[in-house]
């Protein structure tokens, strides 16, 4: 490596460390799973920062999984949760099953996504909330930067769920944003039971972007009533399911 390349690599390393320290300025929210927390700077989701979540495929099942995963994250914070939507189609009992009790959530129904982003930002600037969740189809760099800065000022956790009404909107998820982490969640076959019935739901979590870190895949058992997940124990099955999820998503 030449002297120039070495200096450039050192500079990039310093920038990553500075960005990582800034993202951790308000502390972190750990998942309590060492394999996941080890991939996140500081050992968890940075508080006072913006994070993005989307379904692994374009179907309603994966979309619901991403909403439940986000609800489980919010459930482990302290304080009230503001959930901003354009269409009110959330099922409160399902959110309660992953730890987010109805008494903790205030819903704001906006007329369109522009109004939703304004409500999202205002709530983050207000502070005093455990988390603010916003469901959006498109999220530009400018809008995401405003949300991240508002979260950074107040220390509030900002969670953006990417929901699409049509296939063409899904391509927007590949565009760069100011989010500290970006996740894709896919539904997997539930945990097998020794008797007839439906076992605990399972998800494939794809950490496709993390500032000052590396991407990774995790197969987990879905959030329980405390918002806690468990890592699925079989590495071979995790690899097979990850391959199936990628095929379903078309990449």
Lowest pLDDT segment from 21-35, 84-98, 170-184, 193-207: 21-35
Residue 251 has pLDDT above 80, yes or no: no
**In this predicted model, which residue has the larger pLDDT, 76 or 233?**
76
Distance from the first to the final alpha carbon of the chain? 34
Strands 50-55 and 181-188: parallel
Tell whether pTM > 0.85: no
Number of neighbouring beta carbons within 10 Å of residue 173 = 18
Interval 128-143 mean pLDDT:
95
Tell me the C-alpha distance between 49 and 31, whole Å.
16
CATH for 31-249 is 3.40.50.300
CA atoms within 13 A on the CB side of 241: 23
The first and second tokens of residue 106, run together, are 């205030």
Q: Where are the domains of the chain?
A: 31-249
Do residues 198 and 211 lie in contact, with contact meaning Cβ atoms separated by under 8 Å?
A: no
Contact 181, 209 (CB under 8 A): yes
Task: Output 76 or 193, whichever has higher pLDDT.
Answer: 76
Residues comprising the chain, all counted: 251
Q: What is the largest CA-CA distance in the chain?
A: 65
Closest to 148 measured CA to CA, from 19, 14, 12: 19
Helices (H), 83-230: 92-97, 113-126, 141-154, 167-170
Quote the pLDDT of residue 15: 55
pLDDT in tens, 4-57: 777 776 676 665 555 554 544 679 999 999 999 999 999 999 999 999 999 987
């Amino acid at each position: 490596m030449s002297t120039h390349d070495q200096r450039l690599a050192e500079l990039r390393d310093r920038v990553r460390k500075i960005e990582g320290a800034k993202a951790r300025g308000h502390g972190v929210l750990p998942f309590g799973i060492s394999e996941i927390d080890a991939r996140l700077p500081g050992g968890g989701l940075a508080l006072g920062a913006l994070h993005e979540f989307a379904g692994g495929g374009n179907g309603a099942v994966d979309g619901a999984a991403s909403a439940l995963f986000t609800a489980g994250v919010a459930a482990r914070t302290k304080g009230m949760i503001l959930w901003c939507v354009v269409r009110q189609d959330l099922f409160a009992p399902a959110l309660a099953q992953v730890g987010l009790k109805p008494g903790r959530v205030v819903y704001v129904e906006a007329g369109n996504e522009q109004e939703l982003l304004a409500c999202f930002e205002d709530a983050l600037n207000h502070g005093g909330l455990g988390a603010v969740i916003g469901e959006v189809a498109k999220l530009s760099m400018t809008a995401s930067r405003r949300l991240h800065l508002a979260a950074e000022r107040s220390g509030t956790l900002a969670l953006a769920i990417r929901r699409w009404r049509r296939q063409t909107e899904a391509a927007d998820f590949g565009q760069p944003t100011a989010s500290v982490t970006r996740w894709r969640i896919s539904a997997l076959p539930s945990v097998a039971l020794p008797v007839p019935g439906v076992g605990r739901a399972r998800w494939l979590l794809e950490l496709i972007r993390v500032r000052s870190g590396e991407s990774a895949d995790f197969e987990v058992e879905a959030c329980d009533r405390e918002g806690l997940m468990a890592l699925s124990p079989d590495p071979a099955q995790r690899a097979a399911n990850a391959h199936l999820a990628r095929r379903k998503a078309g990449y």
